[in-house]
Amino acid sequence: METMLHNRSGFTLVELMITLVLSMVIIAAIYSAHLTQQRTQTAQDQVVEMQQNLRASLNLIVSELRMAGFDPSGSANVGITGANQGWMQVTMDLNGDGDAGDSNEDVQFGFNDADDATDDGVADDGVASLGRNTGGGYQPIADNIVAIEFLYHLENGSKDPTTYSYTRNPTAAELDTIRAVTISLLSRARNLDPNFTSNQSALPASALTASPAGNSGDNASWNASGVSWNVASNFRRRLLIMTVKLRNLGL
């Protein structure tokens, strides 16, 4: 009986402890890899959502701004009716009846007054929905927008774009001289990411070092009025800048 007991095989306590430690190391490595992949996927999802949000809203704005001043009858007196750095209003005669009183012929883009009380193009609460107003109130076209800037290209007697001047707040007399608009749109991720930190400011077109029309001669004049946008550091964000030529104006 003693011989049979001494010949039994098994694991010692040391072997069990080593196996347990190795198992924990492997499990920790697998969990770490899973967590990294999950964070990467979350970041990619946020970036894709922001980019789609920006592109969809800008495409809508651009398509309507390109129709600003469309006047087949020549008697509708349409064009840009209001503009500043945070919003823009345009009219057009889409059906050629000689006025801009029909549906979608008088359009304004920007934040709702309740979301941007100072009309500076920056959401008062840090983020808001960008809207489109055709007379019945603002209808959201993009969510989680931090800021929007309209930078206007003004014709100075010459149709050469390199001679244009730039302003974010044109006067009433300058509305008829606007020939293009550079739109800067800053979006923020829907949810914060505690593992992401960024303290960089976002720079709209008015703060860039090269003018949208490629003219470096007057950079100092319009860069001096430029701004930088600061947002919470734990939110991912994306900035998209696009220049629109107003093809129906200045003909």
Alpha helix segments (H runs only) across the chain: 2-6, 13-65, 219-223
Predicted local confidence at residue 217, as pLDDT: 37
Question: So what's the pLDDT on residue 176?
Answer: 94
Report the range of poorest mean pLDDT among 25-39, 61-75, 225-239: 225-239
How far is the C-alpha of 74 from the C-alpha of 93, rounded, in Å? 9
Are 111 and 150 contacting, i.e. CB atoms less than 8 angstroms apart? no
Q: What is the pLDDT of residue 124?
A: 92
Report whether 215 contacts 162 (CB < 8 A).
Answer: yes
Give the HSE-up count for residue 131: Cα atoms under 13 Å, Cβ half-sphere.
18
User: Tell me, what's the pLDDT at 250?
Assistant: 82
Q: What is the pLDDT of residues 174-214, one digit of tens each?
A: 999 999 999 999 998 888 888 888 777 788 888 875 544 44
Q: And the tokens for 40?
A: 């990467």
CB 184 within 8 A of CB 241: yes
Domain ranges of the chain: 41-245
Terminal Cα distance for the chain, rounded: 111
User: Please, what is the average pLDDT of the chain?
Assistant: 84
Q: How far is CA 160 from the centre of its chain?
A: 29
Q: Which residues touch 248 (CB under 8 Å, ≥6 apart)? A: 66, 67, 68, 69, 70, 71, 92
Model pLDDT, residue 135:
87
Strands (E), the chain: 80-83, 88-91, 106-111, 128-133, 138-154, 165-167, 178-188, 237-245
